[in-house]
Amino acid sequence: MPASAVWTAPDPLGTHRVLEPPGALPQSALRLDPRPHIAPNELLIAVDTLNLDAASFLQLRQECADDGRAIARRVAGIVEERGKMHNPVTGSGGVLCGTVIEVGPEHPRAGEMQGLLAAAAETGAPAPRVASLVSLTLTPLRLTEIGTVDPTSPQIPVRGTAVLFASAAFAVLPPDLPESSALAVLDVAGAPAYVDHFVRTGDVVLILGGGGRAGLLCQAVAARRVGPDGLVVMWCYPAEAGGRAKELAAAMAAGDGNNSAPTAPTIVLEGDATQALEMLASYLPATGSRHADLTVNCVSAPGTEMASILATRDGGTVVFFGMATDFARATLGAEGVGKDVTMIMGNGYSPGHADAALDLVRSSPALQGLVAT
């Protein structure tokens, strides 16, 4: 069916795909139209993997009691109902991976993708494989099959199609990294970009959610950027997360990969960050009563806002990157304890963040091994 017969006024932001309510943007919409007949400014992908964000996957695991088949049914139900993978409880989604099928002639990257498709057709090589850099909560998605779900992994094998709007960023998957690792990194690539932007030499950096993929990427950036006069504190839960943070800290101290410059000392602490006062009572003695200049919250569970705020110095910055963050709890909580901190809701996109995150993983064999597990 010709694109013009389906879409008469395609919007770069994708509002032409919104079914309910009228006038909404795709992310906030209740339902999207996921039909695979693309508009002239869209890209069509044959999807084979969904990488659910940590908050959404944790919620689904809890709801489905770690039953992989139940998780698969729940994901299928959400996508069928909403035309996108938009968890109604957490409000979050994740990213996807797949093969480019078709690109509209008016898509901003049409020349690049048409060239890759033509080269693949000429040589018999596979079509270009890409990962989305925008949330599944705004990506039109139709699934025909969901494979076996491993309750310990947020990467779910599927078959279906997805549509990327003209405004939706995506990355061509690199040939030198395992796809599963690249997809996991790209899902959280915005977090280390924030650390790189806000951190300064000599800073104390606190990362909640240490040992997770986002936390490990932030740890690597922070340890390099603050230098030996700074300090990196990894707050981890449960204990195995602390083990991963310690492993990366030891590797970086020993000159991991191509990094020969001295890195910051790293302290790994373990505990439940929902218990803010208990967390602070452990944090301050470990740091010599040095509050954090920059705190990055990558926790996938709710209720950790006040731990982030209390551990940060007045005038410092807190970046809430975890999708479980409650805006009202953070802002009113900071007001209630008289904390003058700048609070930022992490945006998963910034120019060049995907390449920067992949280059970070390439530069550190230890980090590459940890994000692959």
CA nearest neighbour of 357 among 187, 211, 112: 187
Taken as a whole, the chain contains a residue count of 373
Longest dimension (CA), the chain: 67
What tokens were used for 304?
């950790």
Domain residue spans of the chain: 3-173, 190-371
Q: How many CB atoms lie within 10 A of CB 318?
A: 25
Closest Cα partner for 36 from 136, 158, 131, 160? Answer: 160
At a CB cut-off of 8 Å and minimum separation 6, what does 149 contact? 68, 69, 71, 72, 75, 156
- Residue 3's pLDDT is 44
From CA 360, how far away is CA 373, in angstroms rounded? 17
Q: Is the dihedral of CA 106, 131, 84, 49 positive or negative?
A: positive
Which residues in 67-100 are b (16+ Cβ under 10 Å) and which e? ebebbbebbbebbeebbbbbbeebebbbbbbbbb
The predicted pLDDT at position 1 comes to 42
> Which are the contacts of 311, defined by CB distance < 8 A and separation ≥ 6?
206, 279, 280, 283, 284, 291, 292, 295
Angstrom CA distances, 157 to 91, 98, 133, 142, 354, stand at 21, 10, 18, 14, 22
pTM here? 0.89
SS3 category, 363: coil
Single out the residue of 220, 183, 209 nearest to residue 319, CA to CA.
209
**What six digits make up the tokens of 70?**
């139940």
User: Residue 130: helix, strand or coil by DSSP?
Assistant: strand
CB 108 within 8 A of CB 44: no
Q: How remote is the C-alpha of 194 from its chain's centroid?
A: 12
Query: Which residue, among 367, 369, 372, 331, has the nearest Cα to 192 in the 3D structure?
Result: 367
* Rounded-to-integer distance, Cα 28 and Cα 21, Å: 9
Tell me the two tokens of residue 65: 């009691």
Classify residue 204 as exposed, middle or buried by CB count within 10 Å of its CB (0-12, 13-18, 19+): buried
189, 347 contact by CB (below 8 A):
no
The secondary structure element, H or E, covering residue 314 is strand 312-320
What pLDDT, on the 0 to 100 scale, is given for residue 347? 85
- Residue closest to 273 by CA, chosen among 236, 244, 245: 236
- What is the residue-level pLDDT of the chain in tens, covering all 373 positions? 444 446 877 999 999 999 999 999 999 999 999 999 999 999 999 999 999 999 999 999 999 999 999 999 999 999 999 999 999 999 999 999 999 999 999 999 999 999 999 999 999 888 999 999 999 999 999 999 999 999 999 999 999 999 999 999 999 999 999 999 999 999 999 999 999 999 999 999 999 999 999 999 999 999 999 999 999 999 999 999 999 999 999 999 988 876 677 899 999 999 999 999 999 999 999 999 999 999 999 998 999 999 999 999 999 999 999 888 999 999 999 999 999 999 999 888 888 999 999 999 999 999 999 998 7
Q: For residue 135, what are the CA distances in angstroms to 104, 162, 300, 347?
A: 21, 12, 16, 11
- E-only strand ranges, 118-181: 129-132, 141-146, 155-164, 170-172
pLDDT at 5 (0 to 100): 47
CATH 3.40.50.720 fits 190-371, yes or no: yes
What is the secondary structure of 202-264 as a DSSP string? T-EEEEEEETSHHHHHHHHHHHHHH-TTSEEEEEESSHHHHHHHHHHHHHHHTT-TT--S---
